[in-house]
């Protein structure tokens, strides 16, 4: 620990020297927040989850994928824990055949109002979905449940026909609030959901047997949100093969853990984004539309409004992807027109959005990877003279219930190139964002080395970066 502090101090001094020497000539706009390299680790970290503890807003936790083979590991994920608002981080590898098992990847995190930190992820081999709980702000976790395929006919919410269910599992997402915790994931075809009651710190009941979400076959990369009355919404991307198209659907369970199940699916938006839609800045993994939800439980002006963020490709296979937000005031039955969040005038790619709602204010934040500054003509946004293959991270706020968004903010100080990382999944399938108490905390994969402390140098393997972004109006 002490060595880490000394090293951090030396790095800080080195960074100041570099800033003086460079004369800040290539510095981003002054509005760009201070970037922090959380992982400072050799090899690739990507596909990150982040959560801020509502009982201690200085406690922030990040968990990400890592490359296993390159590190000589068979399993594991990267974890960073901060107790000073994200300025400094304690880091380790978790799920490397420790008490969290053989963690593959796909982490999702959620703190609840008691300070419980829930985590879900995928195992390497087993086709069950683990739920882990930390009651000490992310310093330690233990597995409290493994969600397996339910028996075929038992349980009040049992699916009718679950042949083939759990042949594989993918992309679990966990959300906790209002005395309940829910997880959704793709269970080899349809989306599957289950939840458990929560009554205090470390006080988590049993997960029910679970249910198949109606009409969700081939719908994946989902999200789940909890409303002010304890109602639950899942959203997913119905993807056809390849890049041709996608549709966003939601389903609502109106009484949460009560006896009712998820209702019929409701169409939200057409995206033109397939499950594996290739774009120049994400050329190896490709992207999906990456729908995300946020539900206002503030009791304020827009209490009960639920927001959905997603990516839309303007003309199919144009690579001109943009970020949109819609909202619903009737628990997902009807949706507003889409509001475009990115405010650039280019035809370049914006992708992998994340939304988070500050439950202390009702303001929303959206962040995404953004290639607007890569015109292939050199300069700060272009690493290689090729247009639209480099990316920065940008974001915006809405302080009026999603009616409009603020001028966009460049959040990453540097410019990254995912293909240069050699990471087979590029930046990953998603990015992280947690917005609480007026500060948005994004987490993203970055190989710009803008902070000068990525041990792999510039435009090589990815580190995980974060920043504290103050709400703007
Ligand atoms: Ca497409
Ligand atoms: Ca665009
Ligand atoms: Ca470029
Ligand atoms: Ca790294």
In three-state form (DSSP H/G/I as H, E/B as E, the rest C), the secondary structure along 112-135 is: CCCCCEEEEEEECCCCCEEEEEEC
What pLDDT does residue 472 have?
Answer: 85
Ligand 1 center to residue 314 CA distance, Å?
A: 9
Residue 400 Cα to ligand 1 midpoint, Å, equals 31
Ligand nearest to the backbone CA of 66 = 4
Ligand index nearest the alpha carbon of residue 382? 3
Q: How far is the CA of 461 from the centre of ligand 1 (A)?
A: 28
| The two three-digit tokens of residue 354, written as one number | 């994340």
Backbone torsions φ then ψ of 383, nearest 5 degrees: -90, -10
Distance between CA atoms of 369 and 443, rounded to whole angstroms? 11
By the 10 Å C-beta count (0-12 exposed, 13-18 middle, 19+ buried), 163 is classed as exposed
Averaged pLDDT for residues 413-420: 98
- What does the buried/exposed string (b/e) look like for 20-44 if buried means 16 or more CB atoms within 10 Å of the residue's CB? eeeeeeeebeeebbebbbbbbbebb
CA 76 to centroid of ligand 1, rounded, Å: 33
Find the mean pLDDT for residues 167-187.
Answer: 97
318 alpha carbon – ligand 2 mean position (Å): 9
pTM for this prediction: 0.92
The pLDDT assigned to 255 comes to 97
Of 7-21, 278-292, 358-372, the range with the lowest mean pLDDT is 7-21
Q: Which ligand is nearest to the CA of 280?
A: 3
Which stretches does DSSP call E strand in 160-245? 170-177, 180-186, 191-200, 203-204, 211-212, 219-226, 232-239
Residue 9 has pLDDT above 60, yes or no: no
Average pLDDT over residues 297-319: 97
Would you state the pLDDT for residue 151? Answer: 79
User: How many angstroms separate the alpha carbon of residue 371 from the centre of ligand 3?
Assistant: 8
Task: Give the Å distance between the CA of 144 and the centre of ligand 1.
Answer: 39
Q: How far is the CA of 321 from the centre of ligand 2 (A)?
A: 4
| 188 has pLDDT over 60 | yes
Cα–ligand 4 centroid distance for 89 (angstroms):
15
pLDDT digits (tens, 9 = 90+) for 201-239: 999 999 999 999 999 999 999 999 999 999 999 999 998
- CA of 465 from ligand 4 middle (Å) equals 10
Confidence of residue 26 (pLDDT cuts 50, 70, 90): very low
In sequence order, the β-bridge partners of residue 312 are 322
Domains by residue range for the chain, with CATH: 2-470 (2.120.10.10)
Kindly report, residue by residue over 138-174, the tens digit of the pLDDT. 999 999 999 999 876 544 444 455 668 999 999 999 9
**What pLDDT shows up at residue 239?**
86
Average pLDDT, the chain: 93
Q: Tell me the CA–centroid distance for residue 426 and ligand 3, in Å.
A: 15
**d(Cα 201, Cα 251) in Å, to the nearest integer?**
29
Is residue 22 scored above 50 in pLDDT? no
Tens digits of residue pLDDT in 234-293:
999 998 767 888 999 999 999 999 999 999 999 999 999 999 999 999 999 999 999 999
Give the ligand at the shortest distance from the Cα of 415.
3
Q: What percentage of the chain reaches a pLDDT higher than 90?
A: 88
CA 237 / ligand 1 centre spacing (Å): 13
User: From ligand 1's centre to the CA of 127, what distance in Å?
Assistant: 30
Judged by its nearest atom, the ligand closest to the C-alpha of residue 348 is: 2
Ligand closest to Cα of 388 equals: 3
pLDDT value for 28 = 54
**What's the gap in Å between 245 CA and the centre of ligand 1?**
5
Note the ligand closest to the C-alpha atom of 346: 2
Rounded distance from Cα 306 to ligand 2 centre (Å) = 24
* Ligand number nearest to the C-alpha of 408: 2
CA–centroid distance, 59 to ligand 3, in Å, is 36
C-alpha 347 – ligand 2 centre gap (Å): 5
Kindly state the average pLDDT of the residues 453-459: 98
**How much distance in Å is there from the Cα of 372 to the middle of ligand 2?**
7
Ligand nearest to the Cα of 416, by number: 3
Query: How many whole angstroms separate alpha carbon 323 and alpha carbon 369?
Result: 10
Compute, in angstroms, the gap from residue 344 CA to the centroid of ligand 2.
Answer: 8
CA of 374, nearest ligand number: 3
Residue 5 pLDDT exceeds 60: no
Q: How far is the CA of 372 from the centre of ligand 4 (A)?
A: 25
pLDDT of residue 86: 98
Report which of residues 20 and 178 the model is more confident about: 178
């Amino acid at each position: 620990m002490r060595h880490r502090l000394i090293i951090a101090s030396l790095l800080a001094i080195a960074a100041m020297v570099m800033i003086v020497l460079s004369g800040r000539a290539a510095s981003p706009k002054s509005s760009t927040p201070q970037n922090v390299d959380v992982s400072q680790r050799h090899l690739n970290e990507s596909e990150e989850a982040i959560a801020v503890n509502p009982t201690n807003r200085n406690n922030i936790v990040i968990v990400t994928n890592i490359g296993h083979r390159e590190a000589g590991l068979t399993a594991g994920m990267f974890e960073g824990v901060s107790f000073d608002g994200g300025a400094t981080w304690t880091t380790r590898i978790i799920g490397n055949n420790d008490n969290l098992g053989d963690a593959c990847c796909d982490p999702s995190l959620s703190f609840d109002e008691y300070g419980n930190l829930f985590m879900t992820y995928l195992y390497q081999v087993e086709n069950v979905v683990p739920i882990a709980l930390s009651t000490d702000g992310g310093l330690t976790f233990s597995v409290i449940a493994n969600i397996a395929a339910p028996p075929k006919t038992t349980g009040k919410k049992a699916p009718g026909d679950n042949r083939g269910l759990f042949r594989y599992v993918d992309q679990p997402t966990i959300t906790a609030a209002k005395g309940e915790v829910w997880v959704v994931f793709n269970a080899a075809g349809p989306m599957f959901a289950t939840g458990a009651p929560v009554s205090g710190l470390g006080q988590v009941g049993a997960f029910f047997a679970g249910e198949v979400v109606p009409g969700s076959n081939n719908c994946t990369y989902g999200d789940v949100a909890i409303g002010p009355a304890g109602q639950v919404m899942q959203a997913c991307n119905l993807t056809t093969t390849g890049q041709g198209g996608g549709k966003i659907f939601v389903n609502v369970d109106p009484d949460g853990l009560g006896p009712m199940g998820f209702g019929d699916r409701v169409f939200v938006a057409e995206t033109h984004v397939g499950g594996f839609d290739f774009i120049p800045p994400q050329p190896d993994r490709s992207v999906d539309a990456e729908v995300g939800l946020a539900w206002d439980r503030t009791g304020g002006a827009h209490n009960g409004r639920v927001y959905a963020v997603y990516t839309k490709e303007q003309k199919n296979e144009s690579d001109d992807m943009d970020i949109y937000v819609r909202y619903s005031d009737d628990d997902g039955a009807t949706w507003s027109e889409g509001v475009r969040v990115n405010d650039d005038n280019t035809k370049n790619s914006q992708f992998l959005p994340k939304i988070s709602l500050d439950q202390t204010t009702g303001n929303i934040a959206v962040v995404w990877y953004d290639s607007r500054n890569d015109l292939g003509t050199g300069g700060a946004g272009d690493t290689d003279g090729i247009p639209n293959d480099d990316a920065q991270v940008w974001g915006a706020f809405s302080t009026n219930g999603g009616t409009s968004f603020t001028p966009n903010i460049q959040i990453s100080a540097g410019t990254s190139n995912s293909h240069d990382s050699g990471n087979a999944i590029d930046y990953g399938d998603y990015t992280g964002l947690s917005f609480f108490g007026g500060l948005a905390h994004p987490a993203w994969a970055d190989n710009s080395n803008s902070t000068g402390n990525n041990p792999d140098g510039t435009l090589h393997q990815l580190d995980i970066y974060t920043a504290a972004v103050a709400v703007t109006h």
